Structure 1
Amino acid sequence: MATPQDGNTIYLTEQEAERIRSIAKERVKKCADQRGNTKEPRDKTAAHQQATGAALMADMGGAPDPDITQIQGKGGHTIPAIAVGQPYPPCTASLSDLEPIKLGHLRMETHHRGKKLLVKRESPVVTLVARSWTMVQDGDGSDAERLEICLHKSRHGEDVLESTKRFIIKEPYFTLTDEGEPTLRIDHPSDLVICYEEPKPTEDAAAAEKLATIYKTQGNAALKQQDLPLAHEKYTAGLTVARRDIVVASNPDLARDISRNRAYVNLLLGRFDEVKTDSRASLTGRDDQRSKELDSKAYFRSGSAAYSQGRYQEAKRFFTEQQRLTPVDKDAKIQLKKTQARLREEESGSYDFMKMRSSLSQARPRVDAATFINNTEVKDSAEKGRGLFATHAIASGELLMCEKAFCVVWGHEEEALTAMTYDFRDDRIRVAPVGLSKVIVQKLLNSPSEIESIVDLYGDYKGDDKDVLNNEDGTVIDVFRVHDVISRNAFGPGSQFSEGARNASTGLWIHAAYINHSCTPNVMKEYVGDLMIIRATRPIKAGEEVLHSYDASLDYDARQTALMTTWGFECNCALCAAEKADGKEVRDKRMELVGEADAFINRTPWAGAKRLVFRKAQKLAQAIDESYDEGRWKDVPRMHADNIKAWLSKASPR
Structure 2
Amino acid sequence: MKFQFLNSTVSSEEILQNAILRSTSSNISQKKSKERLIEEHNKLEYYGDRNKYIVHNICSKQNLNLNLRFRVSIANLQINNHIPIEKFLLCRVITKFINIDALLALVEDPEGNVERLALYNWTSLPKNNEDRMNCRSIDQSFLPVGTLLVIKNLSYKVSSDNNTIIHSKNPKDVIIVDRHNKLIDNLKWSSDILDKKEIKRKTADDFRCRGNDYFASKDYIAAIDEYSNGIKLEPRNVTLFANRAEAYLRLFQFRNALIDAETALNYEPSHLKAAYRKGKALCSLQRYQEAIITLQNLHLSMKASTDGSISSIKKSTEQLLKHAEILASENKNGQYDYTSIINEYCERAKIKKDSKGNDEWVYEAGPRLDHADFLFKDIEIRPVEGKGRGWIAKCDIPENTLLMVSKAFSIVYSHEALGHTMQSNIPNEKTTCIASSLCNEELITRITQKLLAESSYCQEVYQLYDGLNLKFNQHLVNVDAIGNIVKYNSFGLESDIIIENSDSSGMGLWILPSYFNHSCVD
TM-score under structure 1 length normalisation: 0.47
Corresponding residue number in structure 2 for 1:488: 488
SS in 1 for 2:464: coil
String of CA shifts for 1:224-281, please: whole Å, max 9, x gaps.
Answer: 34332222221111111112xxxxxxxx5xx112111211222222222221111122
Corresponding residue number in structure 2 for 1:230: 222
Report the Cα offset of residue 484 of structure 1.
1.5
Alignment of 1:496-575 (within 5 A): 496-497=496-497, 504-519=505-520, 572-573=521-522
| Structure 1 pair 409–343 and aligned structure 2 pair: CA distance change class (3 A) | same
For the pair 1:445 / 2:448, whether they are aligned, the reply is no
Corresponding residue number in structure 2 for 1:412: 415
SS in 1 for 2:259: helix
| Structure 1 pair 463–160 and aligned structure 2 pair: CA distance change class (3 A) | farther
String of CA shifts for 1:343-391, please: whole Å, max 9, x gaps.
Answer: 1111111112222123222225333321111342112223212211123
SS in 1 for 2:371: coil
Letter aligned with residue 314 of structure 1:
E
SS in 2 for 1:433: helix
Report if aligned partners of 1:462, 1:481 keep a CA contact under 8 Å in 2. no
Report if aligned partners of 1:300, 1:319 keep a CA contact under 8 Å in 2. yes
String of CA shifts for 1:570-613, please: whole Å, max 9, x gaps.
Answer: xx45xxxxxxxxxxxxxxxxxxxxxxxxxxxxxxxxxxxxxxxx
Alignment of 1:204-219 (within 5 A): 211-219=203-211
| Structure 1 pair 324–504 and aligned structure 2 pair: CA distance change class (3 A) | same
Corresponding residue number in structure 2 for 1:339: 324
Report if aligned partners of 1:267, 1:305 keep a CA contact under 8 Å in 2. yes
Corresponding residue number in structure 1 for 2:58: 41
| Structure 1 pair 367–54 and aligned structure 2 pair: CA distance change class (3 A) | same
For the pair 1:314 / 2:314, whether they are aligned, the reply is no
Corresponding residue number in structure 2 for 1:458: 465
Letter aligned with residue 56 of structure 2:
K
Letter aligned with residue 273 of structure 1:
R
SS in 2 for 1:318: helix
Aligned equivalent of 1:324, options 300, 308, 312 = 300
For the pair 1:434 / 2:419, whether they are aligned, the reply is no
SS in 1 for 2:381: strand
Distance (whole Å) between structure 1 residues aligned to residue 327 and residue 80 of structure 2: 47
For the pair 1:385 / 2:367, whether they are aligned, the reply is no
String of CA shifts for 1:369-428, please: whole Å, max 9, x gaps.
Answer: 21111342112223212211123321233221111222221223357799999xxxxxxx
TM-score under structure 2 length normalisation: 0.58
Alignment of 1:271-282 (within 5 A): 271-282=253-264
For the pair 1:242 / 2:234, whether they are aligned, the reply is yes
Cα RMSD (Å): 5.0
For the pair 1:269 / 2:244, whether they are aligned, the reply is no
Distance (whole Å) between structure 2 residues aligned to residue 353 and residue 333 of structure 1: 23
Corresponding residue number in structure 2 for 1:260: 242
SS in 2 for 1:454: helix
Report the Cα offset of residue 107 of structure 1.
4.5
String of CA shifts for 1:22-41, please: whole Å, max 9, x gaps.
Answer: x99xxxxxxxxxx9764132
Report if aligned partners of 2:495, 2:504 keep a CA contact under 8 Å in 1. no
Distance (whole Å) between structure 1 residues aligned to residue 172 and residue 518 of structure 2: 44
| Structure 1 pair 108–447 and aligned structure 2 pair: CA distance change class (3 A) | closer
Gaps of 5+ in 2: 12-51, 85-99, 102-118, 175-199, 305-313, 351-365, 421-430
Distance (whole Å) between structure 2 residues aligned to residue 161 and residue 303 of structure 1: 40
| Structure 1 pair 43–306 and aligned structure 2 pair: CA distance change class (3 A) | farther
Distance (whole Å) between structure 2 residues aligned to residue 182 and residue 321 of structure 1: 66
Report if aligned partners of 2:53, 2:136 keep a CA contact under 8 Å in 1. no
Report if aligned partners of 2:295, 2:321 keep a CA contact under 8 Å in 1. yes
Letter aligned with residue 443 of structure 2:
L
Letter aligned with residue 58 of structure 2:
P
Aligned equivalent of 1:56, options 50, 74, 78 = 78
| Structure 1 pair 160–260 and aligned structure 2 pair: CA distance change class (3 A) | farther
Distance (whole Å) between structure 1 residues aligned to residue 286 and residue 219 of structure 2: 27
| Structure 1 pair 57–349 and aligned structure 2 pair: CA distance change class (3 A) | closer
Report if aligned partners of 1:273, 1:446 keep a CA contact under 8 Å in 2. no
Distance (whole Å) between structure 2 residues aligned to residue 327 and residue 115 of structure 1: 61
Aligned equivalent of 1:348, options 333, 353, 361 = 333
For the pair 1:108 / 2:110, whether they are aligned, the reply is no
Letter aligned with residue 246 of structure 2:
Y
Distance (whole Å) between structure 1 residues aligned to residue 380 and residue 160 of structure 2: 37
Distance (whole Å) between structure 1 residues aligned to residue 140 and residue 433 of structure 2: 34
Corresponding residue number in structure 2 for 1:365: 367
Distance (whole Å) between structure 2 residues aligned to residue 39 and residue 503 of structure 1: 47
Distance (whole Å) between structure 2 residues aligned to residue 142 and residue 152 of structure 1: 24
For the pair 1:141 / 2:157, whether they are aligned, the reply is no
| Structure 1 pair 317–59 and aligned structure 2 pair: CA distance change class (3 A) | farther
Distance (whole Å) between structure 2 residues aligned to residue 114 and residue 310 of structure 1: 47
Distance (whole Å) between structure 2 residues aligned to residue 368 and residue 393 of structure 1: 31
Distance (whole Å) between structure 2 residues aligned to residue 485 and residue 516 of structure 1: 15
Corresponding residue number in structure 2 for 1:621: none
Report the Cα offset of residue 444 of structure 1.
2.6
SS in 2 for 1:226: coil
Distance (whole Å) between structure 1 residues aligned to residue 289 and residue 159 of structure 2: 33
Gaps of 5+ in 1: 1-10, 25-34, 63-88, 91-102, 120-135, 163-175, 185-206, 244-251, 422-428, 470-476, 520-571, 574-654
Report if aligned partners of 2:456, 2:475 keep a CA contact under 8 Å in 1. no
Report the Cα offset of residue 141 of structure 1.
1.6
| Structure 1 pair 438–38 and aligned structure 2 pair: CA distance change class (3 A) | closer
| Structure 1 pair 241–464 and aligned structure 2 pair: CA distance change class (3 A) | farther
Report if aligned partners of 2:211, 2:227 keep a CA contact under 8 Å in 1. yes
Task: Work out the number of aligned pairs and report it.
Answer: 367
